[in-house]
Amino acid sequence: MKKIVVLGAGMVGREVARDLSRSFAVTSVDASQAALDVAAKLAPIATQRADLSTPEAIKQAVRDADLVVGALPGFLGRMALQAVIESGKNAVDIAFFPEDCFELDALAKSKGVTAIVDFGVAPGMSNVFMGYHNKRMQSVERFECLVGGLPRAREFPFEYKAVFSPADVLEEYTRPARYIEHGQLVVRPALTDPDLIDFEHIGTLEAFNTDGLRTLAQTMTAPNMKEKTLRYPGHARLMQAFRDSGFFSKEPIEIRGVKISPLEFTSRVMFPSWQLKKGQEEFTVMRVTIEGVNEAGHRERIDYDLYDKYDPVHDVTSMARTTGYSCTAAVQLLATGMFDRKGVCPPEFVAEDQKCFDFLLDHQRERNIHYKKTVTPL
């Protein structure tokens, strides 16, 4: 039985570990004993407490692994993945770190390593659909991804709960958003250009700019590509007020002789109210739209719609399901040799192969995650 080490036992990481424990010998590693205790109760998962903030600690944690899953917060992700690659271990990573993942491509190839990155829901499955159709259509003219995870109950003032690392949520709100428009790279501030869009089962949500294209901006040639985050209406304006007033700044300020960054203070005050309570219902919604000329030479629009809810039977959040099970599908592809391309490989590379694409969707259907495909002639 292959040995898999999952770095990070947070909301998503522990569900990745639980799902993989059905097929592999899994060890979950985290700095929090409380998080590890929760993971250990879910399934036969070995646990190891370790401070994963240094390359040396990462290398020690993965020493005996056949394959590694990176499920750490974004600010640790790049460092951790580099240490894993230097250890000669194949990996699937969902840390969504801000640095350019392709900077590690040459290292991965020199080590004979396959490092599948950004394999969640978005980035992740959004890239899968784009990569699959880009390979098969005569041309793709437009790609758009609208995605968000939200609590069912709207509670004032934020009407939001963090369904993944809160620090990474704030990173989305501060990092400039990169789009491709008319073949050119365009950069806009995050939280701008809000649109109101209606969704079945939910109602009206607000879509605003975030930096979610990631690798697609480098690997795809479609002249128009963008990603927007979905929240309840009004959330973007509130977060923009916090950001523009300096509350998300990382630059330390001095208060009564003590230096502290406004972001650290804001996080300490804000995050408790963002915490998802046990049993609290939430959902994930995504719409991926691809427009272009199909293999037969006809223009068409292809939509993939996802609506997934909290699983009350197993007490698993929808974001953990939709992010975690796409990740575990990629782990299966790598562990079984179905995908073996060396180097840093984003999801769009994996999806070029028909068998891999079919497996990704089948794996998630078995876990009751369904993407509804609609094709509309243009």
pLDDT digit string, tens, across residues 125-160: 999 999 999 999 999 999 999 999 999 999 999 999
Vertex 25, ends 23 and 31: CA angle to 5°?
125
Same domain, 193 and 107: no
pLDDT for the residue 165? 66
Same domain, 185 and 226: yes
Same domain, 227 and 85: no
Q: Which amino acid is at 208?
A: F
Q: How confident is the model at residue 336 (pLDDT cuts 50, 70, 90)?
A: very high
Last residue of a domain, one of 309, 340, 356: 309
Q: How confident is the model at residue 268 (pLDDT cuts 50, 70, 90)?
A: confident
- Which CATH number goes with the domain that contains 329? 3.40.50.720
Same domain, 117 and 129: no
Whole-angstrom Cα distance, residue 202 to residue 246?
33
Residue 210 has pLDDT above 70, yes or no: yes
> Strands, E, within 223-337: which ranges?
224-231, 253-255, 258-260, 282-293, 299-309
pLDDT for the residue 204? 97
Residue 376 maps to a domain: no
Q: Which letter does DSSP use for residue 24 in this model? A: S
Q: Which letter does DSSP use for residue 375 in this model? A: E
Same domain, 178 and 277: yes
Same domain, 364 and 324: yes
Q: How confident is the model at residue 271 (pLDDT cuts 50, 70, 90)?
A: confident
The total number of structural domains in the chain stands at: 2
pLDDT for the residue 277? 83
Residue 108 maps to a domain: yes
Please list the residues that pair with 289 across neighbouring strands.
Answer: 144, 303
Last residue of a domain, one of 309, 332, 347: 309
Same domain, 328 and 289: no
- What pTM did the predictor assign? 0.94
Q: Which amino acid is at 259?
A: K
Instruction: Work out the average pLDDT over 336-357.
Output: 98
pLDDT above 70 covers what percent of the chain? 99
Q: How confident is the model at residue 164 (pLDDT cuts 50, 70, 90)?
A: low
Please, what's the b/e burial string for 229-241 (b: 16 or more CB within 10 A of its CB; e: otherwise)? bbbbeebbeebbe
Same domain, 302 and 339: no
State the chain's mean pLDDT as an integer.
Answer: 95
Provide φ and ψ at 225, rounded to 5°.
Answer: -145, 135
Instruction: Give the 3-state secondary structure of residue 224.
Output: strand
- Which CATH number goes with the domain that contains 217? 3.30.360.10
Q: Provide the domain limits for residue 206.
A: 125-309
Number of H helices, E strands in the chain: 13, 18
Same domain, 301 and 189: yes
Same domain, 301 and 196: yes
